[in-house]
Amino acid sequence: MKKYRKLKSNALLQKIVQKDYLKSRVLHRLGPSAWVTSGFPVEILRAMGISPFYPENYGALCAARKASARLCQEAEDRGYSRELCAYGRNHLGSLYNPSRAPLKGLPRPDLLLACNNICGTVLKWYQTLSRELQVPLFFLDTPYRSGGDNGEGAVSYVEKQLHTLVEFLEGRTGRKLNEDRLLETLELSAEATRLWAKVRDMGKHRPSPINAPDLFVNMAPIVVLRGTKQAADYYRVLLAELEGRVAAGEGALLRENFRLLWDNIAIWHRVLSFYSMFTEYGACFVVDTYTGAWSGTWDAGEDPYRSMARVYTRIMLNQGIESRAAAMLKDAKDYGVDGFVMHANRSCKPYSQLQLPLRRVLTENTGLPGLLVEADMCDPRNYAAESIKTRVEAFLENLA
């Protein structure tokens, strides 16, 4: 029996993402391109006509297409430890053996741009890429904001580096950054971010018109099309569909029995089978900590560089445990959840190493039940299907 309502907007989403991909492939032959980390201030690139490609997003795609295990293996065969982040291994594998990689891998870049506001792993990964490809790397250092009072100092430091970044890009590509274009791009980016925040807010309705797996699929534009008109346009369409659902009293699930909070990156290689276990029980993930990571908006009243510096150092994974705990507690309350599920993601240490203490904080403060699932966002070999199924079912039965 059908238990899930499919979003109509998704057909449009697929078209947009595919079109953008084809366009980038062509543009990349005509102009400069770069491989970038998901938290890189891409607005500057967009304003300069440099095409960005996202290896992390490519990792999600490979996992969904069941290619990531063999690509990770390609990297492991060349000496990379199986304990390294699978996005990195998957990407290196696609480089070593493009014939086995979806879309034959990402087009070779002219530049590598990494920012450590999500993790330190990207620094090492991009250093490796820089050596393998002999392509210059710009590393943007966004200090971790925790404990110490490095707020404004860190912002000034990042702001300075953003100016150097522009010099680096201009020097390498021969293109000049047009400040007006930058402002336009930042505004488009902010518009998409505001709309995306509204999309995510829709989960507060009962029943929720959106479930986290929908958010995982629909986050693509906020990541890979940030700073484009298409992103904002798409989110308007999606938002309208969700508002329609709310007006009609329709939820993402045909019957919403429980409302849950999801923590960590999606299990991309099991997006259907994993989350359908929850759908079976009418458990909807009304909120998650992952898809809100791209939530900072540029402040038009401030110098654009300073404002970007502020937004990009405030990425969720770059904040200490206290901010993460506070955000989760707030979400649990605002969205009225009945429990939470944490994906202990073997690949991602910065996301997962704080989960045990966070779980304790959540349980102590809310009394809500929580489940910790050990898996991996991109390496299906780190997924013990049977034991996960047993644990998930036990958790859901307890909720009932």
Interface positions, 122-151, toward ligand SF4 (CB under 6 A): 122
Among residues 54, 96, 57, the alpha carbon closest in space to that of 75 is found at 96
CB-CB neighbours of 214 under 10 Å? 27
Total Cβ atoms within 10 A of residue 325: 17
Six-digit token string for 8:
């109509």
Nearer to ligand SF4, 103 or 123 (CB): 123
Which residues ranging from 74 to 103 are in contact with other proteins (CB under 8 A)? 78-81, 83-85
Inter-residue contact 380 to 270 (CB < 8 Å): yes
Alpha-carbon span 145 to 374, nearest angstrom: 27
Phi, psi at 210, each rounded to 5°: -140, 145
List 127, 230, 295, 363, residue binding other proteins (CB under 8 A): 127
3-state secondary structure of 256: coil
What are the structure tokens assigned to 61, written together? 């795609």
CB nearer other proteins, residue 23 or residue 167: 167
Per CB under 8 A, the list member of 321, 327, 329, 368 interacting with other proteins is: 321
Report the run of H or E that residue 168 belongs to, with start and end: helix 151-173
Segment 252-311, which members bind other proteins (CB under 8 A)? none
Which residue, 4 or 139, is less far from other proteins as judged by CB?
Answer: 139
- Selection from other proteins, ligand SF4, none that 56 binds (CB < 5 to 8 A by kind) is ligand SF4
**Least spacing, CB of residue 56 vs other proteins, in Å:** 15
Residues in a beta bridge with 145: 319
Residue 81 contact partner, candidates ligand SF4, other proteins, none, CB within 5 to 8 A by sort of partner: other proteins
Run of H or E including 272: helix 271-280
Nearby residues of 85 by Cβ (< 8 Å), 6 or more positions away: 119, 121, 125, 347, 348, 349
Q: Which is nearer to ligand SF4, 38 or 211 (CB)?
A: 38
Q: Which of the choices ligand SF4, other proteins, none does residue 80 contact, using the CB cut-off of 5 to 8 A by kind? A: other proteins
Of residues 101, 111, 118, 199, which one binds ligand SF4 by CB under 6 A? 118
When binding is defined by CB under 8 A, the residue of 21, 27, 139, 399 that contacts other proteins is 139
**The one segment of 5-13, 105-113, 243-251, 345-353 that binds ligand SF4 by CB under 6 A:** 345-353
Binding-site string for ligand SF4 from residue 288 to residue 327, where x marks contact by CB under 6 A and - marks none: -----------------------------x----------
Q: Write out the two tokens for 181.
A: 């274009």
Q: From residue 15, how far is each of 9, 18, 234, 314, 332 by CA, in Å?
A: 10, 5, 11, 32, 34
Adjacency order of strands within the sheet including 33-36: 51-53, 33-36, 111-115, 137-140
* Alpha carbon distances (Å) from 277 to 65, 211, 243, 259, 397: 20, 13, 26, 14, 12
Spell out, one character per residue from 20 to 59, where the chain touches ligand SF4: x when CB under 6 A holds, - when not: ------------------------------------x---
Q: Establish if 171 lies at the interface with other proteins (CB under 8 A).
A: no
Whichever of 265 and 358 has its CB closer to ligand SF4, that residue is 265
Confirm or reject binding of residue 347 to ligand SF4 (CB under 6 A).
Answer: yes
Binding interface with ligand SF4 (CB under 6 A): 56, 85, 87, 118-119, 121-122, 265, 317, 347-348, 350-351
Binding interface with other proteins (CB under 8 A): 78-81, 83-85, 116, 119-121, 123-125, 127-128, 131, 139, 141, 143-144, 146-150, 153-154, 156-157, 160-161, 163-164, 320-322, 344, 346, 349-350, 352-357
